[in-house]
A and B are shown apart, each in its own frame.
Chain A
């Protein structure tokens, strides 16, 4: 029972950064901008939150600084892709490569392989929900997570409302589906693209803060390890719908939790279990694609 409880707790724990990236990427996906810079933005959040907390000694400044810098990266991405019409994939890749390079540069300059906050006890970040925590099994699973973890799960609902129940969401979807129609309506299409990308950057910064600051108070380079790409896979699987994309994100979180917990008993082969999330992602993506195109008789490549 303890083993299963651990897996369920870890599922929530590991799903959070992926979930936040998914929520961030959905709007850009709907606005027809493929944001593969999610990975780089998440790493920016992780890096800057730790760096700022390290130098200022304040966790709150770390949170705020990381969010602001991530949004700046989002604005950079938007300027390059929306205003100057650069190739989205190339710009995304450039950001994905630039961020770890800058982080590596700074780490090398500080002559340290990582940034840690020794004065911070990470247990302080965990919220024990008063009543629920005392319920035998469920309490241990649901309670004791960090603030951003809870925010992420509330975020599914918020993003759903934002996408389907507000003007903003409808406009973003119109811009993505039919840009000419949106222009004829008098919408400033670039504005909605900018906002969609910046919202994504905000969510990614939270994912990064969760990953580095809240969980471990530690930053090592490339600690995001492809979570941003897994998030893109989840968005593809859920076709940009907040609820189903979020469900796929949780599936990938469960896969990682299984991998980590089973790896504990595997001894030297533990490294092989780390492969599970990536393989699960490939299989799920293929299955969704097969189902989607099952009755499609068109020839050639379908975009």
Chain B
């Protein structure tokens, strides 16, 4: 439904009337019959103000979208208790009520039908009064949201345990609480013709380069889609190298990661309804960084980073190298190993390439099967996978034992760099195919192709391999290694902002 392109006709229909009239009856009629028609969740609460010259009032809201008690205690009750001077009407009446009667901090005036309807649908109450051509909008959203909890996809041992929820306002507040600075700016853009989803562009003024912020904003503003349900939509629209399997925009569920990237001079995009924030530009090194690297001791962090690089190599290359060695270069395997592999393969009916591809496929099936299942069933899947398939397949001579080891280490290593998991699967398949055809030579060719692809990519004007292809001491401080905080005096050069000093000069001179 959301994918249908909207037509001009729909637009017209929702604008049957543009401005409120001063007659309550007419206003309510239009709401009921046109703009909010055929919607039984909209509640029209009729009441009267006090006094001899009582006035008819209507509170309109969408049920379960507002705080019901708040509206009845602080809006309906004072209105019912107040005597409205009879000479007041129009905007003066609305202002009078706003200033003297209504006990709410978020009160606005609006006389636009469309805007009012929008407010009602997004969780505000609207009070209409007879003889007043202004609606009073009371901001009182009360819909259910997921509480702020630790994100399941990015756990930490040490570090803040808050994660984004679905509500945009909550998410922005989580970031703002970490960066208490007027330089922290948020720009709203509305995307989605039907869904009218709010998208926030966050950055640190003066730390992020203005060209980058403008570029992000202009790319988002150009999106014309009927609906945005997750930040993934935005990501696909605005990322560089859209045909490449590698991500050129970062994603995270953690406000601390977003804050850290903002402090580096990056831009973050938060989308209402999605707990995943986007950060840009995104470089390949970031895939190998984790927030815990910065909270733990820098030597441990460096060690963990190296583990991640090694794991990525293992998960992409082990099957291809195994295949190449076994089928083309048995002379390169140590003598004792080659004989035991040969022995293990003695009764296996399939050629090595079939074994590699089939086992890789089985692993992916098991993983995909386990991902979206409830936890207890997921365990069953892993037991079936590990014991039944693994052990029995070897016992039945369907696959050789070394192959199981190769698949096992490949799979486990793949989860280490989780952002690049899907990319690693693609690369692995590509390497395996080339290795099956040309041996180690083919593997090297395939590797070169991948490196060429990486070198040709960029993200918001920054080369994708920045800091990986240099030995500049300033650039590698936060790449393969993580130097101590007191050594990282400057923000990354590639983000090219005017304010590059991370440490104040006092600290720097001491160190």
Are A and B physically bound partners?
no
A interface residues, Cβ below 8 angstroms from B: none
B interface residues, Cβ below 8 angstroms from A: none
